Amino acid sequence: MDRLSVGVVGGSIAGCAIAIELGRLGHEVVVFERAGEELKDRGAGIVVPPPVLETFIARGLVDSDLPHLRVTATRKIAPSATDRRFGRTVWEQEAAACTLKWGALFRSLRARVPDAAYRAGTAAAALHDRGGTASIELAGGRTLEFDVVVCADGYRSPGRQALFPGTVPAYAGYVLWRGLLDERALDDPQPLEATSPWVGFAGGHASLYFVPGAGGGVERGSRQINWALYLPLPERELASFLTDADGTAHEASLPPGRIPAEREAALKRIAAERLPSYYAGIIGASTRTYMHAIYDCFVPAYRRGRICLVGDAGALARPHTGAGVLKAMHNCIALADALQSHAALDEALTAWDREETAYCNGLVTLGVQLGRALVLEAPDWSAMDETQMRRWWAESITAPREGTLYEK
């Protein structure tokens, strides 16, 4: 295929990945990132299947020594009157996952995008499909024309809205409260070694796992615990819940340290009441916690004309799936492969669109099923034995799981 000019809207993980993949094929790529400086490090832990991380390394998208840890099982735990500290393990489910930091992944990707191709502080105001070309109208009024435009502009994507008006994220009925704690605050790290405890309780669940420490440390004593607690919240209360300590309303999340002190204290009381004390203690000792509202978004397609969607600008799947980075990278790698294997641009985009729409909408369906099973319609785990839990899991999670954290 002839050399293409490609404009990318959004310079986070998906935007950098598509710039790397297409740039290495010889295409001319320019990334427009509205932030005025390089994206700030996000302490959040992320999870990907090991084959996915191996693919990133093999394709040269990330460093081979990118700090990460391995998880080999998820322990489904119920509170127990006979073991108030650790609860009762109902089922130790085999799993295979790599845990890493969002910031480390982003820095590894960003280092591979030439500075001349990364336009920080440049916002896109509008997109236009012109039949054989596409264009980006910048906030300052200048319009640039490209063979292809790729929108990697996040879950509230203006690009998605421009292509498919009315296709917007729908609130799922619950929120995710998150935090990090240094391992040195633990008196006993063993319950978290190579495993991710999932603690079920009435009205939600919590998950915890080790991630590399602030300096990338993966040795014992230098790691951090990443934890997440899901809680139902009526939509009518969402605006109040997303108002920060200064009274500023946020659209979908509260950054670290911005949850009002009284609300964070109330959340920690919920954790203390509903979780075994070991896990509640991790949450209770964490500072600068943060909050996300959970959304779903199915999309009718991944492209219209010469404008494409990647990452959360396309379908939006819930965090339960562990599919945020997985989906974004799948989009970018598949697009590069399609452009390389088809002689005509429109044939490549059509084939790519068909595959990604089906795959990513399937991940959204998986997320809906996980949310229903683990939060909105969660059974009483304390009343289950392993056989009952295995049956419940098989009956609840029926969406295709190939390539995800839930294959087994």
Query: Under a CB-based contact definition with an 8 Å cutoff, are residues 384 and 392 in contact?
Result: yes
Query: Under a CB-based contact definition with an 8 Å cutoff, are residues 11 and 122 in contact?
Result: no
Q: Give 5-58+104-169+296-371's CATH code, choosing from 3.30.720.110, 3.20.20.150, 3.50.50.60, 3.40.50.300.
A: 3.50.50.60
Residue spans of the domains in the chain: they are 5-58+104-169+296-371, 69-99+171-295+374-396
| Paired strand residues for 170 | 296
Q: Quick one: residue 320, left, alpha or beta (phi over 0 = left, psi -120 to 50 = alpha)? A: alpha
Return the closest-CA partner of residue 206 out of 257, 276, 269, 255: 276
Q: 398 vs 102, 403, 406, CA distance in Å? A: 29, 15, 11
* CATH architecture, domain 69-99+171-295+374-396: 2-Layer Sandwich (3.30)
Q: 396 vs 368, 372, 374, 393, CA distance in Å? A: 10, 8, 10, 5
- Count other C-beta atoms under 10 Å from residue 178's C-beta: 22
Query: Under a CB-based contact definition with an 8 Å cutoff, are residues 135 and 128 in contact?
Result: yes
| Paired strand residues for 210 | 225
- How far is Cα 370 from Cα 162, in angstroms, rounded to an integer? 30
Q: Alpha-carbon dihedral of residues 353, 358, 361, 362, nearest 10 degrees?
A: -150
What stretches of 88-193 adopt beta strand conformation (E)? 88-101, 118-120, 124-129, 134-138, 143-146, 148-151, 170-182
Q: 365 vs 53, 76, 146, 322, CA distance in Å? A: 23, 22, 34, 13
CA end-to-end span of the chain? 39
Asked if 5-58+104-169+296-371 and 69-99+171-295+374-396 have one fold, the answer is no
Q: H-type helices in 80-237, by residue range?
A: 102-110, 158-163
Spell out the per-residue pLDDT of the chain, length 408, in tens: 789 999 999 999 999 999 999 999 999 999 999 986 555 556 689 999 999 899 999 999 999 999 999 999 999 999 999 999 999 999 999 999 999 999 999 999 999 999 999 999 999 999 999 888 999 999 988 999 999 999 999 999 999 999 999 999 999 999 999 999 999 999 999 999 999 999 999 888 999 999 999 889 999 999 999 999 999 999 999 999 999 999 999 999 999 999 999 999 999 999 999 999 999 999 999 999 999 999 999 999 999 999 999 999 999 999 999 888 989 999 999 999 999 999 999 999 999 999 999 999 999 999 999 999 999 999 999 999 999 999 999 999 999 887 788 876
